[in-house]
Amino acid sequence: MEKHVVVIGGGVAGMEAAGHLQKSGFRVSLFEKEEKPGGHLNDWYKLFPDRRRSSEVKEYLDKITSEDGIKIITGSIIDKIVSDKNQFRISDKDGKEYSADAVIIATGFDLFKSERKEEYGYGIYDNVITSADLEKMFRSGSIELADGRIPETVGIVHCVGSRDEKVGNLYCSKLCCVTAVKQAIEIREHLPSSKVFCFYMDMRMGGAYYEELYREAQEEWGVNFIRGKVSEVSEAINNKLVIKSEDTLAGKPLKMQVDMLVLMAGMEMSEGGLKLSESSGLNKGNNRFFSPADHHFGSNKSNIKGIFYAGTCTMPMNITETISHARAAVSDVIDYLKDSKA
């Protein structure tokens, strides 16, 4: 009989895993909490480093998950997995139960809630927005301030909720730097007369063609980079935002007025993932992401046999890495179900 695999989370990792499981001959159920699958991909306009539209990736994922043998259940929040003699009982919030021979968890990440850094004024000052808010503006085709004016100067703050022990996140989300560079370029593209300033602690451009994108931002788009963490933001009488930072390379405090401030919210373990880890006894690391059985050669394995991880529920990853990680999870599932049959 056909083995049944449940995939929890219908983002990039979940969809990719579902598609590959189906290709490998399994019956697949893909659970997604939102009304449609796609995860954060639905919110993003263009992707780094090549600035292709995220919808292209989404189209690919939709295609591979539209095959027979994949059942997509949307609007369903899975809150418990119980392991029972090579079988898993999976129950959702409404108490519906499903059974599976193996489970892939792909609950992904949540963006850091920027209002937790009160000193940056998100939710207090109208023109302080997050990277996700800016993507929405890109999709709508217009970047404007709360009162409808066009911003002339835009500040971008790196490391919001990452590398910050004050919010309990010691780790680097590793993709905000390149996102900042990509978004800086896009702002300049949309608003050629604007000035853009990135406030960074370190530029972590460790992916393929990231450093090149950084260079392009400087060379072709005139984006300014200032090395210094922003300490606080206030509002001036003219409704501009006043940023306080230190230009650490010049060795002097720096005060700047901008029209708009974009916060590069970091990645955190998703709330759904946290609940699942509590209810189902899945190990978490100090960074609160799921802790794989081995960071080197078991990054898809959980502490429970038959439950596997795919994607950013284990650590911040870009789409390329997420897709590879999801395929690797499928390979682990194949091994596991082959063994359990014997």
Partner 1 sequence: MERFGFAISKGRQIDYDANSRHIAGYISEREPSFRVCIECGCCAATCTTGNFTSFSLRELHILLKRGENESVRENIKKCMLCGKCTLVCPRGVNTRNVVTLARQAFQKFPADAV
Partner 2 sequence: MQFDPFIIPFNIGLYFIVIYAVVRSVSWFGDLSRPDKLRLQRGFFGKAFGQSIKEIFLESLIHRKILKSNPRLGYMHMSLAFGWFLLILFGTIEADVFGAHHLNAPYKAIFFKFFNPEHGRMGFEAAFSFLMDLILAFILSGLVLAIIKRFSSRVVGIKKTTKLRVLDKIALTSLWLIFPSRLLAESFTSGAYGTGSFLTGSLGSILASFLPAQEMAYPFWWLYSLSLGTFFILLPLTRYMHIPTELFLIFARNSGIKTGDQPGAFREIQIYSCSSCGICIDACQLNFSAGITNIQSAYLMKGIRNNENVSDIAFNCLMCGRCDQKCPVGIELTPLRMLSRRAGETVENEQSIWQKYFPGRQVMLPVKPVSDPSYSWLKQEEPAKTDVIYFAGCMTHLTPAIKNSMITILEASGVRYNFLDEKGGVCCGRPLMLAGQDREARELINHNSQLIWKSGAHTIVTSCPICYKVFKESYYLDVEVLHHSQFIKNLIEEGSLKLNFLHRKVTYHTPCDLGRGSGVYNEPKDVLRHVARLLKSDFEDENSLCCGGSLGNMKISSRQKSMIAHDVATELTKGNPDILATSCPLCKKTLSAATTTRVADISEIVADAIVRTAIKKKLNEPVRKVKVAVDFHN
Query: Would you say 182 and 213 are in contact if contact means Cβ atoms under 8 Å apart?
Result: yes
Q: Which of partner 2, partner 1, none has residue 116 at its interface (CB below 5 to 8 Å by kind)?
A: partner 2
**Which residue's CB is nearer to partner 2, number 153 or number 239?**
239
| Count of residues that interact with partner 1, criterion CB under 8 A | 23
Dump the DSSP string for 47-74: -TTT--BHHHHHHHHHHHTSSTTEEEEE
Q: Does 118 bind partner 1 (CB under 8 A)?
A: no
Taken in order 160, 165, 168, 171, the sign of the CA dihedral is positive
**Which residue's CB is nearer to partner 1, number 69 or number 253?**
253
Distances (CA, A) of 295 to 13, 21, 290, 291, 302: 18, 23, 11, 8, 11
Q: How many CB atoms lie within 10 A of CB 240?
A: 19
CA 278/CA 285 separation, integer angstroms: 13
The only residue of 50, 67, 97, 119 in contact with partner 2, by rule CB under 8 A: 119
Q: Does 303 bind partner 1 (CB under 8 A)?
A: no
Q: Which of partner 1, partner 2, none has residue 237 at its interface (CB below 5 to 8 Å by kind)?
A: partner 2
Structure tokens at 42: 């639905």
Q: Does 245 bind partner 1 (CB under 8 A)?
A: yes
Q: Which stretch binds partner 2 (CB under 8 A): 99-107, 159-167, 181-189, 195-203?
A: 159-167
CA 127/CA 185 separation, integer angstroms: 19
Q: Does 246 bind partner 1 (CB under 8 A)?
A: yes
The only residue of 102, 157, 172, 230 in contact with partner 1, by rule CB under 8 A: 230
Measured from the CB of residue 282, what is the shortest distance to partner 2 in angstroms? 20
The only residue of 238, 251, 341, 342 in contact with partner 2, by rule CB under 8 A: 238
Please state the φ and ψ torsions of residue 315, each to the nearest 5 degrees. Answer: -175, 160
Taken in order 164, 48, 318, 93, the sign of the CA dihedral is positive
β-pair partners for 91: 80, 97
Q: Which stretch binds partner 2 (CB under 8 A): 18-26, 45-53, 236-244, 314-322?
A: 236-244
Q: How many CB atoms lie within 10 A of CB 256?
A: 17
How many residues are present in the chain?
342
Q: Does 242 bind partner 1 (CB under 8 A)?
A: no
Q: Which stretch binds partner 1 (CB under 8 A): 66-74, 205-213, 245-253, 268-276?
A: 245-253
Query: Would you say 110 and 268 are in contact if contact means Cβ atoms under 8 Å apart?
Result: yes
Nearest to 29 by CA among 83, 85, 84, 88: 88
Nearest to 28 by CA among 335, 330, 338: 330
Place of tokens 């959980």: 302
CA 56/CA 54 separation, integer angstroms: 5
**Which residue's CB is nearer to partner 1, number 164 or number 186?**
164
Q: Does 232 bind partner 2 (CB under 8 A)?
A: yes
Residue type at 225 in one-letter notation:
F
**Which residue's CB is nearer to partner 1, number 233 or number 307?**
233
Q: Does 202 bind partner 1 (CB under 8 A)?
A: yes
Q: Which stretch binds partner 1 (CB under 8 A): 84-92, 182-190, 238-246, 294-302?
A: 238-246
Measured from the CB of residue 169, what is the shortest distance to partner 1 in angstroms? 9
The only residue of 84, 94, 237, 286 in contact with partner 2, by rule CB under 8 A: 237
**Which residue's CB is nearer to partner 2, number 6 or number 258?**
258
The only residue of 16, 164, 321, 332 in contact with partner 1, by rule CB under 8 A: 164
Q: Which residues bind partner 1 (CB under 8 A)?
A: 119, 159, 163-166, 201-202, 227-232, 244-248, 251-254
